[in-house]
Amino acid sequence: MTGNESLAPSDNPSGGSAGHSSVSGSNTGHQGVSPRKKIEVFSLLGVVLIAFGLPLIMTSPTYLHIVILIFFYAYLTTSWNMVGGFAGVLPLGHAVFVGIGAYTSTILSLQYGISPWLGMIVGGVIAMGTGVLIGLPTFKMRGAYFALATIAFAEGVRVMVENLNFLGPFNLNGPRGLQIPPVNFGFANFMFQGKEPYYYIILIMLIGVILLTWFISRSKLGYYLNAGGEEPEAAMALGVNVARAKLIAMAMSSFLTALAGTFYAQFSLFIHPKSIISLDLSFEIAFIALIGGRGSIAGPLLGALLLRPVSDFSRIYFGDVFPGLHLVIFGVVLILVMIYQPRGIQEPLTRVYNRLINRLTKEGQAKEAS
Amino acid sequence: MLYFIEDTINGILMGSIYGLTAMGLTIIFGVLKVINFAHGSLLMVGMYVAYWAITLSGLHPYLALVVVIPVMFLFGYLLQDIIIKPIFKAEKEVREPITVIIVTTGIWYILDNLALLFFGPQYRTIENNPLRGKMFELGDMLISAPKFWGFVIAIVTAGAVYYFFQYTRLGRAIRATSLDRDAASLAGINQYKIYNIAFGIGTAVSGIAAITLIPFYNTFPTVGVAFDIKGFIIVVLGGLGSIGGAIVGGIIVGLIESVGPQYMTATWTEAIVYGLFLLVLFVKPSGLFGEKNDW
């Protein structure tokens, strides 16, 4: 995956952020700001501006809800991508971290009156510890065993949560889940009456995690992860501590995933072990990343932009007549992408994007010359 | 004490049926080195094939094997040939292609939801079921007849599959491919055809497992999911790729599920099974009878 810059078409924020770096490599001959960079900065700014202004145009709460879920999934998938994409393993139990984040902050706020913002961090730290605990013995295994271990761990935790009313002093409420009473609205309580505040929170979280991914992919850690994912033996022979790099990636990934869990709990005000620690959620995260392009920066976002609307709209319009249709579509798209575009849909889109940018910059240069 | 013996016997019977449901998984892994995530869905397909074969023809449930085995073999053969083979060809040099795992997950989603689209979510049981509720009396103990016959079928199937792999020409060719596919190709074995056949056999065994389940189990679109996860656990316990290991692993899980509820809430036994699975993964990933180099 190294050397294969993942750029996105100009209609999403990550594409631009990834684009910055490629300027230094692919564009020569221009001192100062190259036209390519100019276009990329402008399109990035434009996309961010549109993203921030969207709630002003889109007043329908239903559509805003859908967009919030798209960002939520894009955030989850980008977090997953740190270990599932860059580290080259296949974690299929990330829902457990979502669950840890959601339960930790909810229990802390319901039982002890601690702000969910603080609970979010606590949940993240607990998830990080759990992630390292899973990673320590499993990263030595082959891909399929790692996938199985993560599934078994997540399912084991789900079964436990469903059977426990109390974990020590903490009230888990077993299979009934936890409900957050909609009182005390306000920023400090992470609870709002409209959907707009949630929209901005998840948008900022998403931009943050994409920027973090971008920094990692350019850092030593990113190169270690890539090397360890593609050729572990060769990387180890060169003195790269592959297991350590993977553990760091796992720690970050589980921490970030848990933050989304808190967001989800505060957004829906209800958490239910069967849905939040479900195999379906774990698989959907992985599917979105794989279809979008694992190991690329734009892939998860593209995957979420493509697949979430498909699933939401097919559920809305065909849900009664063809239940499960969106999952058939998921499966078919997944198989087709794996056969024809193993690097995900970000690859052809990147090509189109590069061609577009090249044409634009050529025209720009021609204008300057005349 | 009597309850304990009765639970133990029932655990062994049900466990061997679990082992049979997991056997296809272990056969496919043994040859292709791929964990087939669509495994439970293949079992589900087998149950629907069996359900319709029995309902439409009025056959005795176990006689439906003559329909289910060839249909399922063909289904598995074509699935591998059409969908999975292209990816194998694209990733020739990788020993354990992760992409194939992903594709089998896609197949799982497609099959389960197609079943939901075509047959609806309702639970189906066969109408003309001579085995329904039948019990053998063994002293004061009651032993379920369909589970007993399932146990017999499981043992016979394991023996037949073992014999096939050890002593037939085709079985030896399959084993050669699983040991070293390049060397086998050099010896004139068509690697991809072997894969197709192995996948077909694995699927046909899932069909047999479906037949043993159908007299006492409901057929519904997500019936495979429970057996999917259970199957992974069983084959890892017994050792991936080992036929006998699948049966032994199945019996271990069956015993925990059947004896456990005497001492704790039934749902906790599920957590114990997951815990045991993780323990084996961490301590001895090759399982009880697996080969060391496979993980």
**3-class SS of residue B135:** strand
Closest C-alpha to B154, from B11, B54, B31, B15: B15
- Rounded to whole angstroms, how far apart are CA atoms B18 and B44? 14
Percent of chain A at pLDDT exceeding 70: 88
Does A244 map to a domain? yes
Q: Kind of pairing, strands A166-167 and A170-171?
A: antiparallel
Contact at CB, B107 and A327, closer than 8 angstroms: no
**Residue-averaged pLDDT of chain A:** 81
Report H helices in B95-190: 98-119, 145-167, 169-179, 181-186
- Rounded to whole angstroms, how far apart are CA atoms B216 and B161? 25
Helix (H) or strand (E) holding B142: strand B141-144
Answer whether 0.90 is exceeded by the pTM.
no
Residue ranges covered by each domain of chain B: 2-222
Strands (E), A148-196: 166-167, 170-171, 178-179
Which of B106, B268, B285 has its CB closest to that of A334?
B106
Closest C-alpha to A335, from B83, B213, B273, B88: B83
Q: How many CB atoms lie within 10 A of CB A223?
A: 17
Asked whether A13 and A204 are in contact (CB, 8 A), the reply is no
Whether A151 contacts chain B with CB within 8 A: yes
**Which stretch of A93-102, A209-218, A361-370, B257-266 has the lowest confidence by average pLDDT?**
A361-370
Does A4 map to a domain? no
- Rounded to whole angstroms, how far apart are CA atoms B258 and B68? 29
Buried b (16+ CB within 10 A) or exposed e, B265-287: eeebbbbbbbebbbebbeeebbb
* Beta-bridge partners for B116: none
Residue A32's pLDDT is: 61
Say which residue, A124 or A365, is predicted with more confidence: A124
Q: What's the mean pLDDT in A206-218?
A: 90
Q: Grade residue A3 by pLDDT with cuts at 50, 70 and 90.
A: very low
Dihedral (C-alpha) A174, A180, A181, A187: value to the nearest 10 degrees?
170
Asked whether A140 and A241 are in contact (CB, 8 A), the reply is no
Min distance B83 CA to chain A CA atoms (Å): 8
Q: How many CB atoms lie within 10 A of CB B159?
A: 12
Residue A121's pLDDT is: 94
Residue A125's pLDDT is: 95
Please state the φ and ψ torsions of residue A225, each to the nearest 5 degrees: -65, -45
* Cα angle: A9, vertex A12, A13; to 5 degrees: 120
Does A1 map to a domain? no
Q: Grade residue A206 by pLDDT with cuts at 50, 70 and 90.
A: very high
Whether A369 has a pLDDT exceeding 90, the answer reads: no
Min distance A335 CA to chain B CA atoms (Å): 5
Q: Locate tokens 């998984």: which residue?
A: B25
Enumerate the residues of chain B whose CB falls inside 8 A of the CB of residue A153: 274, 278
Enumerate the residues of chain A whose CB falls inside 8 A of the CB of residue B107: 331, 335
Whether B97 has a pLDDT exceeding 80, the answer reads: no
Which of B35, B105, B112 has its CB closest to that of A148?
B35
AA identity, residue A35:
P
**pLDDT tens for residues A282-325?**
988 988 898 888 888 888 999 999 888 887 777 777 767 777 77
Helical pair A279-292 and A143-163, crossing angle rounded to 10 deg:
150
Enumerate the residues of chain B whose CB falls inside 8 A of the CB of residue A229: none
Which residues, 6 or more positions from A158, have their beta carbon under 8 angstroms from its beta carbon?
A96, A99, A273, A274, A277, A278
**Residue-averaged pLDDT of chain B:** 85
Helix (H) or strand (E) holding A26: helix A13-26
DSSP A308-340: HHHHHHHHHHHTTTSTTHHHHHHHHHHHHHHHH
In this structure, what token pair is assigned to residue A300? 């998860």
- Rounded to whole angstroms, how far apart are CA atoms A66 and A315? 12
DSSP state of B292: G
> Model ipTM?
0.82
Structural domain harbouring A243: 13-26+33-369
Helix (H) or strand (E) holding B144: strand B141-144
- Rounded to whole angstroms, how far apart are CA atoms B73 and B206? 9
Does A144 map to a domain? yes
Contact at CB, A148 and B281, closer than 8 angstroms: yes
- Rounded to whole angstroms, how far apart are CA atoms B23 and B27? 6
> Distance of CA B181 to CAs A231, B46, B191, B199, Å?
21, 30, 7, 15
Residue B16's pLDDT is: 93
Residue A9's pLDDT is: 39
**pLDDT tens for residues B99-158?**
788 888 889 989 998 998 888 888 888 877 777 777 887 777 788 888 889 899 999 999
End-to-end CA distance of chain B: give it in Å, rounded: 41
Residue A74's pLDDT is: 94
Does A278 map to a domain? yes
**Which stretch of A231-235, A296-300, B222-226 has the lowest confidence by average pLDDT?**
A231-235
Residue A4's pLDDT is: 38
Q: Which residues from B are below 8 Å from A when comparing CB atoms?
A: 34-35, 83, 86-87, 90, 96, 98-99, 101-103, 105-110, 112-114, 116-117, 121, 221, 225, 229, 232-233, 236, 265, 267-268, 270-271, 274-275, 277-278, 281-282, 285, 295
Enumerate the residues of chain A whose CB falls inside 8 A of the CB of residue B265: 163
Enumerate the residues of chain A whose CB falls inside 8 A of the CB of residue B28: none
Residue A1's pLDDT is: 35
Say which residue, B203 or B225, is predicted with more confidence: B203
- Rounded to whole angstroms, how far apart are CA atoms B216 and B210? 11
Which residues, 6 or more positions from B237, have their beta carbon under 8 angstroms from its beta carbon?
B245, B248, B249, B252, B253, B276, B277, B280, B287, B288
Please state the φ and ψ torsions of residue A115, each to the nearest 5 degrees: -60, 135
> Distance of CA A140 to CAs A85, A156, A296, B237, B283, Å?
17, 21, 24, 18, 12
| A61: Cα separation from own chain's centroid | 23
Say which residue, A125 or B221, is predicted with more confidence: A125
Does A90 map to a domain? yes
Percent of chain B at pLDDT exceeding 70: 96
Buried b (16+ CB within 10 A) or exposed e, A105-131: bbbbbbeeeeebeebbbbbbbbbbebb
Q: How many CB atoms lie within 10 A of CB A96?
A: 30
Whether A101 has a pLDDT exceeding 90, the answer reads: yes
User: Domain tally for chain A?
Assistant: 1
Does A6 map to a domain? no
**Residues listed for chain A:** 370
Q: How many CB atoms lie within 10 A of CB B22?
A: 33
Residue B1's pLDDT is: 75
Q: Grade residue A2 by pLDDT with cuts at 50, 70 and 90.
A: very low
Please state the φ and ψ torsions of residue A81, each to the nearest 5 degrees: -60, -30
- Rounded to whole angstroms, how far apart are CA atoms B45 and B157? 19
Q: Grade residue B291 by pLDDT with cuts at 50, 70 and 90.
A: low
Min distance B273 CA to chain A CA atoms (Å): 9
User: B110: nearest CA in chain A?
Assistant: A328
Q: How many CB atoms lie within 10 A of CB B264?
A: 12
Residue A368's pLDDT is: 62
